[in-house]
Structure 1
Amino acid sequence: MSSSVLQWVWLRHCVFATLMVLCVLGVFIMYYKPDISIPTFNIHMVSQKEGDNHSQPDTIILIWMWPFGFKFDLSCRVFGITGCHLTDDKSLYRKAHGVLFHHRDIHGDLGNMPKEPRPWFQKWVWSNAESPANSGRIPGLDHLFNLTCNYRRDADIPVPYGYLVPVTDRDQSFELPAKDKLVCWIVSNWNPNFKRVQFYNKLKNHINIDIYGKAFGQHLNNQDFPKIISSCKFYLSFENSIHTDYITEKLYNPLMMGTVPVVLGPTRQNYENYIPGDSFIHVDDFASPKELAERLLYLDQHPAEYSRYLNWREHFKVKISVLGFDHACKTCHYLENHRGYQAFHDLNKWYWG
């Protein structure tokens, strides 16, 4: 056999062997592909600030309007949330994963809402801390939002006015403040048609109540509130309107300051979703304001029984939510874990019934 023929045969074998190796390698890669991650870049990231060596977090919450004009810190680190970027910079609208709208600041004609189309990945979040009685219906909102952020437990992002957290070893033991008053009430919104005003007018006939606030021409500063509330054995935690889960700082302030709240609002069972049943007194537990007054006077004369309403402090302490701030951070935390499509319909029916 000539040398040229031998070379041709050898070349053919080499080509065949090479093809076989490539086929086997392809099958191996197809079925036994190693887990190699290729870095990707989030197209919705905020551009780096000048001099900042770290990229911005990948969840952006745009605060479209400050609630009642009240501005707050734009860092959620106090909650242990680090993957959030809160901003009021509307130029970031197209990059924001969530846009937070405060109901009481939305114009009735929706004139101050975004004019640009909503990006496909973006969630519009309706936020409101006021009760239905103190919030006007806006028909155009019915099919506008993806999520609700509200004090109600059935909201997508529930944000109660306050909550209890466990006491830790680092917490200092609580010392009960000195009490020189029996019953106190601080009230600014005085309306004779309110149930709380009507109940007070009956209760005051049977027990002495120290009353303060704007309704009586008194302008209290931030230091006055804790001084007054902590100096009373009982505080009238009367809500201005009665709705499910509408339990405001009127409850949590006296709890925090070592005073037993006497509540007028939703049912006892509703309150017990948030605080222990033996930490407060509910007006509905009594047949009349007179019977309630008699119970308070009895507890005043029996310190051991009164102190039972404060035993919960051995295990829990109070945290009070900050208007807007808690809503923004909890919205961001929610969106970190829920990126799928969501929509909310019939807002007016859900909230106003």
Structure 2
Amino acid sequence: MLLKTQTRRVLIIIVLLLGIGVVTYIYYKPSLESETYPGALSKSKVDVCTEDCLEAVKEKNDQILKDCLVNNRLSKQKAEDKVSNLETKNENQRDFEAEILVLVWVWPFGAPFPVDNCEPVFGIKNCRITDDRSQYEKAHAVLFHVRDIYNQIPVLQKLPRFPLQMWVWMNSESPDFSPRLNGADDLFNLTSNYRRDSDIWTPYGWVMKATEEEKAVQIPKKDKLVCWIVSHWDDNFPRVKYFNELSKHVHVDGFGNHFNKRISNEDYFNVIRSCKFYLSFENSIFRDYISEKVYNPLVLGTVPVVIGPPRANYEEFIPRNAFIHINDFKTPKDLAEHLKLADQNQEIYESYFDWRKTFVAKLGRPEEHACRTCEYIRMNRNFRVFKNVNKWYFEE
């Protein structure tokens, strides 16, 4: 009996000792993840390269690098990759923030445009525009206005061309009023034009989201029904033929050289404001050719009546209820009757301004070609040559 009692006590002691051992192991074991354990690394430090490690890689300091890699459990290749990625990122950032220099070879039509508007007007930073040809070698892009260089092609062909320099074919006129540049099919890298398929799209104007202040602008008071300001007159123009028929059925107030009523720039805008409808008749009809003749009345609070490309082309850029297309009516007489009806019905007339509750029209600016060129070059680094520019512009 005594032996059994002693045996039971031994077993109880053994069990107690085992329990104490387990508890001690659970709460006090050395952790391989403890930062105090020699050579250990916390989970938060795995694959993390410290600044010392990165600097060691950059400086090729093998001893510091060895200690850094051991302490951080990071492979040398992974550390070098991190440094390479960081350097590439910094280089790309420096390139993005670097100044872009655009050389204007000849001012369009001999009229210099503002060179400091890229950032305040278009939000395009670090763009410098100059006409100083001594900067030619430094220029990232050279802007050539087609109308002003058509007789300079032999000279341009002999100019040294730098591999990273872009030559920009710039033009805003329609093909009917633009010269072909013979021998220049492979001379340019980029195009800047009103055409939507240009590399650098620069239309005559824009319709964009309006601010609350712009939405509150009222329609100007009108004292004329239909107006037209025109100086370039040719009896063979479609617009002239249409006008001759339209004016038989509705009175049109005419201004400009053709009507012997020359007006100043200020009067030009005042006349458009004073008319309910303005004849925005283009002198030639081509895809995307929607000129200031349309955007001026949109900006000034007048309804444009357009002759130009098909209505569908206009509607790509302008709200469909913001203008009247002559093709909306079978004959000039039908159009005249509609204009007179809108003159008598304020609800019909005001419906042409519903788009202004959401949008606003803006006029293009001559310096936009240069500013947008800066923007394009900063965002696009690919090789580019524009083959057969004459075929693209005059035949498509």
Say whether the 8 Å CA contact 2:192–2:201 is kept in structure 1: yes
1:147 aligns with 2:190: yes
SS at match of 2:360: strand
Q: Which residue does 1:333 correspond to in 2?
A: 375
Structure 2 unaligned regions, length at least 5: 1-61
C-alpha separation between the residues in 2 aligned to 1:227 and 1:29? 73
2:214 touches 2:360 (CA, 8 Å); kept in 1? no
Q: Hey, what does 1:295 align to over in structure 2?
A: 338
Aligned partner of 2:106 in structure 1 is 65
**Cα separation, 2, equivalents of 1:278 and 1:43:** 46
What secondary structure, in the 3-state scheme, does the structure 2 residue paired with 1:129 have? coil
AA partner of residue 241 (structure 2) = Q
- Specify the code of the residue in structure 2 equivalent to 1:162: G
Cα offset, 1:309, TM superposition: 0.3
Match of 1:32 among 47, 66, 79: 79
2:364 to 314, 321, 333: 321
Residue 279 (structure 2) aligned to one of 225, 236, 251:
236
The percent identity for this pair of structures is 47
Q: Pairwise mapping of residues 212-231 of structure 1 onto structure 2 (< 5 A)?
A: 212-231=255-274
Aligned match of 1:189: 232
Letter in 1 for 2:385: A
1:157 corresponding residue in structure 2: 200
Task: Indicate the larger mover: 169-178 or 275-284.
Answer: 169-178
Contact residue 162 and residue 318 of structure 1 kept, 8 A: yes
Q: Which amino acid aligns with 2:164?
A: F
CA apart distance, 1:129: 0.1
Measure, in 2, the Cα distance between the counterparts of 1:98 and 1:244. 27
Q: 1:268, 1:282 within 8 Å by CA — same for their partners in 2? A: yes
Check if 1:82 corresponds to 2:129.
no
Shift of 1:196: 0.3
Residues in 1 aligned to 2:308 and 2:235: alpha-carbon distance in whole angstroms: 17
Worse-matched range after superposition: 20-29 or 144-153: 20-29
> 1-side partners of 2:134 and 2:157: how far apart?
11
Name which one, 1 or 2, has greater alpha-carbon Rg.
2
Separation (CA, whole Å) in 1 of partners of 2:177 and 2:103: 25
SS of 1:160's equivalent in the other structure is: coil
* Pairs aligned (count): 323
Unaligned runs of 5+ in 1: 1-19, 45-55
Alpha-carbon shift at residue 168 of structure 1 (Å):
1.3
Q: Is the 8 A contact 2:215 2:358 kept in 1?
A: no
Q: Quick check: 1:100–1:127 contact (8 Å CA) kept in 2?
A: yes
Residue 202 (structure 1) aligned to one of 245, 248, 265: 245
CA drift at 1:85: 1.3
Alpha-carbon distance, 1:123 to partner: 0.7
- 2:391 alignment partner AA: K
Task: Give the residue type in structure 1 aligned to 2:257.
Answer: K
The offset of 1:86, in angstroms, is 1.2
Shift of residue 322, structure 1, vs aligned partner: 1.4
Query: What is the one-letter code of the residue matched to 1:207?
Result: V
Cα displacement string for residues 76-126 of structure 1 (whole angstroms, at most 9, x for unaligned residues): 111111121111111111111111100000133525537431111011110
TM superposition shift of 1:169: 2.9
Provide the rounded CA distance (Å) in 1 between the counterparts of 2:92 and 2:325. 55
CA contact (8 A) 1:147 1:342 kept: yes
Q: Greater share of helix residues, 1 or 2?
A: 2
Residue aligned with 1:141, SS: coil
Distance 2:184 2:208 in 1: 35
What amino acid is aligned across from residue 79 of structure 2 in structure 1? Y
Paired residues of 1:106 and 1:112 also in contact (CA < 8 A): no
Following TM superposition, by how much is the alpha carbon of 1:301 offset from its aligned partner in structure 2, in angstroms? 1.3
Amino acid at match of 1:311: D
Q: Does 1:167 align with 2:210?
A: yes
- For residues 129-162 of structure 1, the C-alpha deviation after alignment (integer angstroms, 9 at most, x for no partner) is 0000001212212111111100000111111100
Q: Which residue in 2 is equivalent to 1:92?
A: 135
Give 1:283's aligned amino acid.
Answer: I
TM-score by length of structure 1 reads 0.85
Instruction: Give the corresponding residue for 2:387.
Output: 345
The answer as to whether partners of 1:68 and 1:105 remain within 8 angstroms in 2 is yes
- Separation in 1 of the partners of 2:237 and 2:271? 23
SS of residue paired to 1:234: strand
**RMSD of equivalent CA atoms:** 2.5
Contact 1:100 1:125 in 2 (8 A): yes
Match of 2:169 in 1: 126
Which letter maps to 1:330? R
Query: Following TM superposition, by how much is the alpha carbon of 1:330 offset from its aligned partner in structure 2, in angstroms?
Result: 0.6
For the 8 Å contact 1:260–1:281, the answer to whether it is kept is yes
TM-score normalised by length of structure 2 = 0.76
Query: One-letter code of the match for 2:202?
Result: V
In 2, are the aligned partners of 1:57 and 1:82 still within 8 Å (CA)?
A: no
Distance 1:79 1:23 in 2: 48
